[in-house]
Structure 1
Amino acid sequence: MYKPFIRNHQYNFMKKQADLLQNTLRTNADLKVLESVKYSVQSKIVDLFPDVPASEKAMLGSISTVEKAEDFQAYLRQFVPYVSEFPAITEKQIQKLFPKNKKLKVPDLSTIDYRYITYLSWVDISTNKLFLVYHQNGQFIGIEGKYTLTSKKSFCFLCNRFEELVLFSAVSKTRPAKSSPDYYKSVGNYLCMDSQACNKNITDTLALEKFIAAVVG
């Protein structure tokens, strides 16, 4: 019986480290450099999961012994059963996260592979809004805001990959002490237009959680 312990962004990180080691093996003949990269990759992957049993740590650490392209794929495949799913969410649950949107258009949830998403996001072209759902501390958090097409490529603040971006701006619910009734603050940043691609690339949730904290407190 497999006990999932790997989140989507962590699995993406493992893939990124595996690619780094594979590229080093392919292009660098210096043994000292190769050993250094092997040690770094192994340490970074194992250190992601300080609380897993010794058997799983041994599996994670075996990345240092992999050399062939097909073996890298086999290394990553063995962890697919250990990838924990984004908690299943229903259309009604999503609607409760955005109570002011009476005609909220929810994506087809049956088409989503919850193992490979860190956050759920979609756009409503008719209202020019972007909706984002994240699961943190045992509960779902919903954020909505305006999105603006940029017609350019740059680095997404969530996955740090060079992609087509939109500017996502949400009204912050946090208020400074003794602020006036008219106080208004918008929090914005550039993120991938294609949330599916972003979910495939994201390797860390720090920027996402920081953004959420700035909006909802």
Structure 2
Amino acid sequence: MCEPFIRNHQYNLIKNQADSVLHALRTVSDPKILESVRFSAQTKVAELFPEITDNQKTMLEPNSGLKTSDDFQKYLQALEPNLIEFPQITENQIRKLFPKNKKLKLPDLAQIDFRYVSFLSWTDISTNKMFIVYHLGGQFVGVEGRYTAINKKSYCFVCNRYEELALFSAISKKRPAHASSDYYKSVGNYLCMNGHECNKNMTDASSLEKFIHSVIG
């Protein structure tokens, strides 16, 4: 078996493309259109992995015999051993990312399947704070901010899905040259209240990484 090479958000996109092909098979009778949908799905998946081996490429390409929901489910299950887990992290490592929070409440790491995690996030209702942990540039980074539930659904900036959101606001560590001692800048965006669902939905990590860079500098 080859080394895992599929990140969670990439796996989610592969699932979405498989669903689009399955939907076309159920609703379209024109074979040319079906072939076009299959080709588009395979192209989008291939674009995720510009540097893969022939063996990996073969695994990613569903054959034309996939026609039923069970067929596609088996295809996706066959890819699961190739998922890259979120890097192993301990409670102590998380605490070091947020040194000012002496009473930091942590998620139950033992209950998390890290194959399906692009980022960790959790809330502390008592302090109205949300915490995000991400692996960026070979190291863990932590972002802490206030969250305000907006009590309605809209589109999350991370996963771009229509979900229950919170306004997440963090203080940016970026400081302009010659800034006064009391200068600060708040960076905010609308994020899923449920981090587990967000991880299941996200198909691109670029928006989250851009936001994190805007906070940590």
Band of TM-score, shorter chain: over 0.9
Equivalent residues of 1:8, 1:83 under 8 A apart: yes
Aligned to 2:150: 150
- The whole-number CA distance in structure 1 between the counterparts of 2:64 and 2:176 is 50
Give the SS at the match of 1:183.
Answer: coil
Report deviation, 1:112: 0.7
Identity %: 60
The yes-or-no answer on 1:3 pairing with 2:7 is no
- The whole-number CA distance in structure 2 between the counterparts of 1:118 and 1:112 is 12
Deviates more, 1:128-137 or 1:45-54: 45-54
Equivalent residues of 1:149, 1:166 under 8 A apart: yes
Structure 1 counterpart of 2:92, one-letter code: K
Aligned to 1:104: 104
Give the SS at the match of 1:153.
Answer: strand
Aligned to 1:122: 122
Give the SS at the match of 1:92.
Answer: helix
CA displacement, residues 4-25 of structure 1 (integer Å, 9 cap, x when unaligned): 0000000000000000111011
Please list every run of 5 or more consecutive structure 1 residues that lacks an aligned counterpart in the other structure: none
- The whole-number CA distance in structure 2 between the counterparts of 1:67 and 1:142 is 43
Relative to structure 1, is the Cα distance of residues 178 and 39 closer, same or farther in structure 2, using a 3 angstrom cutoff? same
- The whole-number CA distance in structure 2 between the counterparts of 1:166 and 1:63 is 41
Deviates more, 1:145-154 or 1:180-189: 180-189
Please, what is the CA RMSD of the aligned residues?
A: 1.0
Give the SS at the match of 2:204.
Answer: coil
Equivalent residues of 1:156, 1:191 under 8 A apart: yes
Structure 2 counterpart of 1:10, one-letter code: Q
- The whole-number CA distance in structure 1 between the counterparts of 2:191 and 2:14 is 22
Report deviation, 1:148: 0.2
Aligned to 1:171: 171
CA displacement, residues 50-87 of structure 1 (integer Å, 9 cap, x when unaligned): 22210110121225542221110111111000001000
Aligned to 2:74: 74
Aligned to 1:58: 58
CA displacement, residues 16-46 of structure 1 (integer Å, 9 cap, x when unaligned): 0000111011111122221111111011112
Give the SS at the match of 2:62.
Answer: helix
Aligned to 1:21: 21
Q: TM-score, normalised by structure 2?
A: 0.97
Q: How many residues of Structure 1 are paired with residues of Structure 2 in the alignment? A: 217
Give the SS at the match of 2:94.
Answer: helix
Deviates more, 1:171-180 or 1:146-155: 171-180
Equivalent residues of 1:145, 1:170 under 8 A apart: yes
The yes-or-no answer on 1:46 pairing with 2:51 is no
Equivalent residues of 1:98, 1:142 under 8 A apart: yes
Q: TM-score, normalised by structure 1?
A: 0.97
- The whole-number CA distance in structure 2 between the counterparts of 1:89 and 1:55 is 30
Structure 1 counterpart of 2:97, one-letter code: L
- The whole-number CA distance in structure 2 between the counterparts of 1:199 and 1:10 is 11
Please list every run of 5 or more consecutive structure 2 residues that lacks an aligned counterpart in the other structure: none
